[in-house]
Amino acid sequence: MRVLGIDPGLTRCGMGVVEGQVGRPLTLVDVNVLRTSSDLPVAQRLVTIEKGVDAWLDEYAPDAVAVERVFARSDVSTVMGTAQASGIALVCAARRGLPVALHTPTEVKAAVSGSGRANKAQVGAMVTRILRLDAPPKPADAADALALAITHIWRGGAQARIEAALAAAGRQSRSPDR
């Protein structure tokens, strides 16, 4: 499975592609950060992010996209920009019919480090170890994007099977034969 992890942000949007499967070593395909200037209007910054996400989807043809779920912080302007960038990522993936998963920061930290309270340095160190890299990806947005992709590979498959089983059970219980 090849997953594009996206750590959304209006100024820095982390992008990371990881390939692998549960129980096997994972491989880094690519990682980078899309940057936009705070001097530009928000609409133009969002177009830049859209073009960047589309380019990554074209180049790496992921099987799924994992995006960090936006959560409320004290700074509303930061949340708004993050939510807008997240929406762009979701639309780009949905336009192509790709499965999209949203993972919370706590879930990602727990998946890669064993603790939902891990700090950025600990997440970066674990991403480095899991992907057998020489150094942690910089900036932290890059490491976070890779952590999202890793989380989805490790947890996304199981979650998809659970949702499919629940959907099948729901259809069975509503069948006219009963």
Q: What is the pLDDT of residue 172?
A: 52
| Beta-strand relationship, 64-68 and 2-7 | parallel
Residue 7 among known ligand-binding residues:
yes
Other CB atoms within 10 A of residue 141 CB:
25
**Residue written as token pair 């727990």:** 110
Q: Does domain 2-173 have CATH number 3.40.190.10?
A: no
Residue 163 among known ligand-binding residues:
no
Of the pLDDT bands very low, low, confident and very high (cuts 50, 70, 90), residue 177 is very low
Active-site entry in 59, 63, 107, 141: 141
Calculate helix-pair angle for 120-130, 140-151, nearest 10 degrees.
60
Query: How deeply is 122 buried, as exposed, middle or buried, from its count of CB atoms within 10 A (0-12, 13-18, 19+)?
Result: middle
Task: Specify whether 54 is catalytic.
Answer: no
- Over 70: is that where the pLDDT of 174 sits? no
Q: Above pLDDT 90, what percent of the chain?
A: 80
pLDDT digits (tens, 9 = 90+) for 100-115: 999 999 999 999 999 9
pTM, 2 dp: 0.88
Averaged pLDDT for residues 63-91: 89
pLDDT digits (tens, 9 = 90+) for 73-83: 667 778 899 99
Residue predicted with more confidence, 39 or 170: 39
Residue 75 among known ligand-binding residues:
no
Averaged pLDDT for residues 11-20: 98
Task: Specify whether 163 is catalytic.
Answer: no
- Over 60: is that where the pLDDT of 176 sits? no
Residue predicted with more confidence, 60 or 79: 60
- Over 70: is that where the pLDDT of 122 sits? yes
Q: Is the peptide bond before 137 cis (omega within 30 degrees of 0)?
A: no
Task: Specify whether 7 is catalytic.
Answer: yes
3-class SS of residue 99: coil
